[in-house]
């Protein structure tokens, strides 16, 4: 089957004007999303992962502006093309958000209206976008509640968000997002505010719905465990750029960027018994201050001289794997991954073999 | 062997909401923490783990049960002397470093506030000197003393919170989810720092978190809490290699592993408390080994030992454990 490209982001640059300085939050992001596939954007707070998807939804805060680049949405059914950057807020609202791209936010309590019943909130989008008659909308809302695993849906329709537990609320948010049959679902840290036990259940729910409806999903997260569980492609962001991307197998079994090494190493390993947990030294860069070269260089043990002079381009690392690190330049000295990570990667591959 | 630094015996912490309804946040838990050890408390929100910490440091008055700290009973009414002991020798580090630091005070004021009470004889210079020492200990530069909390990153703020605790030279630190609000790359830094400080100063610690994998790194012993009860308690390796209680199993299965091929096939286990017919108030602690106990009634204990979890665990994603207990 041919893969249908549904969303493509090219050379995106976004900056925010603050009272102190102009912050270049996104500095050239290129990303594709195909129908039915799942992409994760991984990074720390301030890396620009949320800003990227906010631009896709046209909900950047008022001091932000898209300086360069394009975001193109292609409807897989009708073939219609929407250049999101050029569209007005009003156009985006009526044609894109909700109907074609829906978003799930981190905290289910703040994204639900506390004064409105759950049923009303699910029906709102359908009534607005598709002028669905009330009876029909009610029936569909009830179906959606069943789909997201909320029992007793008829009674739940009349309840308010405060009457539900955190996991239940996030399920309602998912139901609302699905109400208008979107083609793309963006999940901005969908499980961070939830309990561990509920977390994995919500992820499994999104996964099963995705399969059922052939949805494309973008996950925004800083949890690599979540990425491993549900994602096909992963893009690691640092200081407004994608520094490593590829299929989840490429990035997890053969990481090439020192920042990704650090992220993978700092996850506690349940199988190995290490005294000291690896941690990336230093703090994330403040983009309001001027910097030269690779913004990760000051925290990077493997930084070369050129890292402090010039930002690395995206190098090919085979397959779909792209890495922004001078270490991949043919002129660069050969650098080995840290021994502890190498051990862990080996362990992981062996575990895979045991599972087959 | 000498007496443990902290002994908690059948601690209960109930909050009366109205005539008919009382929240039993902590409902009869017992554990001990030896000197220099780290005790990890894990559980979902609403399980009573934070309440336990707050009862020990006496932010609440325990409803029932006894707490002994260094041989002194600190659960009943406090006289001036024990109050001073509790207020100085037990210190707390909170979850959200921004909310727990006064935004209008400088680091010097925040960190030295306790000193003014404990050592009023110190001069301004001596106080400053001490603050600089502690800041260095937690990996912050002494030049930061005149800055305000908002000028720091999340990880640095948490270090300030830790410095404020350390300056009182405590014997016990209660760390209430100290890393949940931090970025992944910073979490490891703070955990390593806590571990180092604890080793160097021989401080005893209670580490409260919902993230089992981090708890494993830092703890010697782990207690798993659910609905106000400790359902399983034991040495950390036993909890991880030989868990018995279905709730512990579901917590462990919920930790996602960064191994895509394996993780994609794995299903996490949901815990059915109500459907499974488990009643914690009827259970008693059964020994799995000398250092590993689990809360159960005899039939459950035998069943779990035989590996039968058919009515308490499920792979379906259609469960959402209603965690709030009604009583």
Total domains in chain A come to 2
Q: Which two tokens stand for residue A56?
A: 């896709």
Report d(CA A258, CA A256) in Å as an integer: 7
pLDDT of A160 > 90? The answer is: yes
Q: Give pLDDT, residue A142.
A: 93
The SS3 of residue A82 is strand
Percent of chain A with pLDDT over 70: 98
Confidence of residue B188 (pLDDT cuts 50, 70, 90): confident
Sequence-distant (≥ 6) Cβ neighbours of residue A78 within 8 angstroms: none
| Model confidence at A173: pLDDT above 90 | yes
**Cβ-Cβ contacts under 8 Å, B253 against chain A:** 200
Beta-strand pair B38-42/B64-69: unpaired
Q: Are residues A194 and A262 in the same domain?
A: no
Distance CA B95, CA B99 (A): 9
* Residue B208 domain flag: yes
Q: Decide if B35 is inside a domain.
A: yes
Token pair in block for residue A343: 């051990």
Q: According to the model, what pLDDT value does residue B132 have?
A: 93
Q: Please, which pLDDT band fits residue A356 given cuts at 50, 70 and 90? A: confident
pLDDT of residue B257: 82
Size of interface A-B (CB pairs under 8 A): 149
Q: What is d(CA A30, CA A10) in angstroms, rounded to the nearest whole number?
A: 5
In 3D space, the residue among B196, B224, B221 whose CA is nearest the CA of residue B211 turns out to be B224
**One domain for residues A220 and A262:** no
Contact between residue B112 and residue B131 where contact means Cβ atoms under 8 Å apart: yes
**Does the pLDDT of residue B320 top 60, yes or no?**
no
A53 in a structural domain: yes
How sure is the predictor about A197, in pLDDT bands with cuts at 50, 70 and 90?
confident
The per-residue pLDDT for A308 is 93
The answer to whether B124 faces chain A, any CB pair under 8 Å, is no
- pLDDT, mean of residues B94-121: 89
Chain B interface disruption, residue of A268, A273, A284, A343, most B CBs within 10 A: A268
For residue A49, tell me if it sits in a domain: yes
Give me the percent of chain B exceeding a pLDDT of 70.
96
The confidence score (pLDDT) of residue B324 equals: 44
Residue B43: inside a domain, yes or no?
Answer: yes
Q: Do B185 and A262 touch (CB under 8 A)?
A: yes
Predicted confidence band at B58 (pLDDT cuts at 50, 70, 90)? very high
CB-based contact, B189 to chain A, within 8 Å: yes
Q: Which of A44-48, A50-54, A75-79 has the lowest mean pLDDT?
A: A44-48
Q: Which residues of B touch A211 (CB under 8 A)?
A: none
| Residue showing tokens 């404020």 | B164
- Residue A214 burial (C-beta neighbours within 10 Å; 0-12, 13-18, 19+): exposed
Question: What's residue A280's pLDDT?
Answer: 86
Distance, in Å, from the CA atom of B243 to the CA atom of A250, rounded to the nearest integer, reads 33
The two beta strands, B6-16 and B172-176, are unpaired
Residue B177 lies in a domain: yes
Instruction: Find residues 63-82 of chain B whose CB sits inside 8 Å of chain A.
Output: none
* In chain A, residues 271-310 whose CB comes closer than 8 Å to chain B: 276-281, 283-284
Q: Decide if pLDDT at B323 tops 70.
A: no
- The partner residues of B22 in beta bridges, in order of sequence, read B16
A281 contacts on B by Cβ (under 8 Å): 189
Write the CATH number for A160.
3.40.50.300
The number of beta carbons lying within 10 Å of the beta carbon of residue A81 is 9
The tokens for A159 are 């309840």
Of B70 and B325, the one with more pLDDT: B70
Q: Quick: pLDDT tens for A299-336.
A: 898 999 999 999 999 999 988 999 999 999 999 898 88
Among residues A231, A265, A291, the one where a domain terminates is: A231
Asked if residue B90 is part of any domain, the answer here is: yes
Instruction: Give the model's confidence band at B147: pLDDT under 50 very low, under 70 low, under 90 confident, else very high.
Output: very high
Pairing verdict, β A64-74 and A315-316: unpaired
CB distance B165 to B197 below 8 Å: no
pLDDT at B318: 65
Domain that holds residue A107: 5-231
At A307, list the tokens.
């890292």
Question: Helix A196-213 and helix B246-253: axis angle, to 10°?
Answer: 60
Q: Say if residue A226 is in the same domain as residue A261.
A: no
Across the range A121-135, mean pLDDT stands at 91
Same domain, A260 and A152: no
Range(s) of the domain holding residue B116? 6-235
Q: Minimum mean pLDDT among A267-281, A289-303, B58-72, B210-224: which range?
A: A267-281
Burial A260-297 (b: 16+ CB within 10 A, else e): bbbbbbbbbbeeeeeeebbbbeebbbebeeeeebbbbb
Say if CB A232 and CB A38 are below 8 A apart: yes
- Chain B residue whose CA is closest to A228: B260
Nearest residue on chain B to A169, alpha-carbon basis: B320
Q: Return the pLDDT at B185.
A: 75
Total residues belonging to chain B? 327
Give B22-40 pLDDT, tens digit per residue. 888 999 999 999 999 999 9
DSSP conformational letter for A4: P
Does residue A247 belong to any structural domain of this protein? no
Residues A281 and A225 in one domain: no
Is the predicted pLDDT of residue A79 greater than 50, yes or no?
yes
Whether residue A289 lies inside any domain: the answer is yes
CB-CB contact of A323 with A256 (8 Å): yes
Is B182 touching A (CB cutoff 8 A)?
A: no
By the 8 A CB rule, do A233 and A39 touch? Answer: yes
Q: Is residue B287 part of a domain?
A: no
Say if residue A9 is exposed, middle or buried (CB neighbours under 10 Å; 0-12, 13-18, 19+). buried
State mean pLDDT over B231-260. 90
Distance from CA of B31 to the nearest CA of A (A): 24
Taking the CA atoms of residue B189, residue B191, residue B194 and residue B200 in that order, the dihedral angle to the nearest 10 degrees is -80
Give me the CATH number covering residue B22.
Answer: 3.40.50.300
Residue B1 is predicted with a pLDDT of 55
Compare all CA atoms of chain B with the CA of A238 and give the residue at the minimum distance.
Answer: B185
In chain B, how many domains are there? 1
Check: complex ipTM more than 0.90 = no
**Helices assigned H by DSSP within chain A:** 49-57, 89-95, 108-111, 118-130, 134-147, 153-156, 166-178, 196-213, 224-230, 248-253, 258-265, 339-355
> Residue B314: beta bridge partners?
B270
What is the rounded distance in angstroms from the CA atom of residue A254 to the CA atom of residue A199?
A: 27
Residue B316 lies in a domain: no
- Is residue A273's pLDDT more than 80? no
Per-range mean pLDDT, top range of A180-194, A266-280, B165-179: B165-179
Q: Is the domain of A58 the same as that of A202?
A: yes
Strands A216-221 and A315-316: unpaired
pLDDT at A81: 93
Q: Is residue A250 part of a domain?
A: no
Mean pLDDT in chain A? 89
Quick one: pLDDT band at residue A45, thresholds 50, 70, 90? Answer: confident
A225 touches B: beta carbon within 8 Å: yes
Give pLDDT tens digits for B131-145: 999 999 998 888 889
- CB spacing of A165 vs B324 below 8 angstroms: yes
Nearest CA in chain A to B212: A196
């Amino acid at each position: 089957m041919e893969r249908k490209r549904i969303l493509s982001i090219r050379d995106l640059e976004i900056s925010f004007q603050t009272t102190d300085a102009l912050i270049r939050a996104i500095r050239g992001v290129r990303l594709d999303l195909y129908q039915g596939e799942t992409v994760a954007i991984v990074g720390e707070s301030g890396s620009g992962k949320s800003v990227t998807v906010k631009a896709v939804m046209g909900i950047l805060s008022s001091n932000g502006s898209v300086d360069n680049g394009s975001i193109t949405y292609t409807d897989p059914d009708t073939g219609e093309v929407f250049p999101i950057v050029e569209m007005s807020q009003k156009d985006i609202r009526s044609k894109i958000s909700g109907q074609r791209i829906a978003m799930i936010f981190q905290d289910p309590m703040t994204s639900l209206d506390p004064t409105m019943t759950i049923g009303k909130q699910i029906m709102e989008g359908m009534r607005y976008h598709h002028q669905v008659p009330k009876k029909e909308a009610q029936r569909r809302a009830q179906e959606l509640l069943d789909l997201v695993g909320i029992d007793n849906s008829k009674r739940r329709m009349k309840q308010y968000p405060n009457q539900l537990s955190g996991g239940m609320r996030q399920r309602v948010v998912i139901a609302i997002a699905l109400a208008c049959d979107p083609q793309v679902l963006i999940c901005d840290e969908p499980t961070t505010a939830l309990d561990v036990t509920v977390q994995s259940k919500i992820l499994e729910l999104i996964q099963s719905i995705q399969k059922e409806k052939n949805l494309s999903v973008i996950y925004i997260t800083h949890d690599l465990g979540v990425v491993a569980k549900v994602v096909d492609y992963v893009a690691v962001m640092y200081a407004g750029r994608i520094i490593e991307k590829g299929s989840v197998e490429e990035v997890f079994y053969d990481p090439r960027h020192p920042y990704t090494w650090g992220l993978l190493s700092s996850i506690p390993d349940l199988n190995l018994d290490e005294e000291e947990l690896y941690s990336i030294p230093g703090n994330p860069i403040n983009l309001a201050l001027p910097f030269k070269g690779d913004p990760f260089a000051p925290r990077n043990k493997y930084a070369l001289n050129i890292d402090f002079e010039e930002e690395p381009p995206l190098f090919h690392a085979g397959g779909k794997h792209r890495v922004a690190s001078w270490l991949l330049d043919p002129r660069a000295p050969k650098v080995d991954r840290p021994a502890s990570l190498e051990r862990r990667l080996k362990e992981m591959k062996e575990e895979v073999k045991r599972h087959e | 062997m000498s007496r443990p630094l902290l002994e908690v015996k059948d601690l209960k912490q109930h909050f009366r909401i109205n005539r008919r309804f009382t929240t039993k946040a902590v409902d009869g838990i017992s554990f001990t923490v030896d000197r220099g050890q780290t005790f990890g408390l894990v559980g979902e929100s609403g399980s009573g783990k934070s309440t336990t910490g707050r009862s020990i440091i006496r932010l609440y008055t325990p409803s029932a049960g006894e707490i002994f700290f260094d041989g002194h009973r600190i659960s009943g009414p406090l006289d001036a002397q024990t109050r001073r002991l509790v207020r100085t020798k037990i210190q707390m580090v909170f979850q959200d470093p921004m909310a727990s630091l006064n935004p209008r005070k400088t680091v010097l004021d925040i960190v030295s506030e306790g000193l003014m009470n404990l050592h009023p004889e110190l001069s301004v210079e001596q106080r400053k000197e001490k603050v600089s020492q502690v800041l260095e200990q937690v990996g912050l530069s002494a030049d930061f003393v005149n800055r305000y909390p908002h000028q720091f990153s999340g990880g640095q703020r948490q270090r300030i919170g830790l410095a404020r605790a350390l300056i009182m030279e405590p014997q016990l630190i209660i760390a209430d989810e100290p890393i949940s609000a931090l970025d992944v790359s910073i979490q490891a830094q703070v955990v390593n720092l806590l571990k180092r400080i604890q080793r160097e100063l021989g401080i005893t610690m209670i580490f409260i978190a919902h993230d089992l994998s981090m708890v494993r790194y830092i703890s010697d012993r782990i207690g798993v809490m659910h609905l106000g009860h400790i359902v399983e308690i034991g040495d950390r390796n036993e909890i991880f290699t030989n868990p018995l209680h279905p709730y512990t199993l579901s917590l462990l299965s919920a930790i996602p592993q960064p191994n895509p091929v394996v993780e994609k096939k794995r299903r996490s286990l949901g815990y059915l408390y109500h459907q499974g017919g488990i009643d914690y108030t009827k259970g008693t602690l059964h020994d799995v080994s000398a250092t590993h106990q689990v809360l159960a009634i005899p039939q459950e204990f035998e069943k779990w030992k035989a590996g039968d979890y058919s009515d308490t665990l499920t792979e379906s994603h259609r469960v959402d454990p209603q965690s709030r207990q009604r009583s």
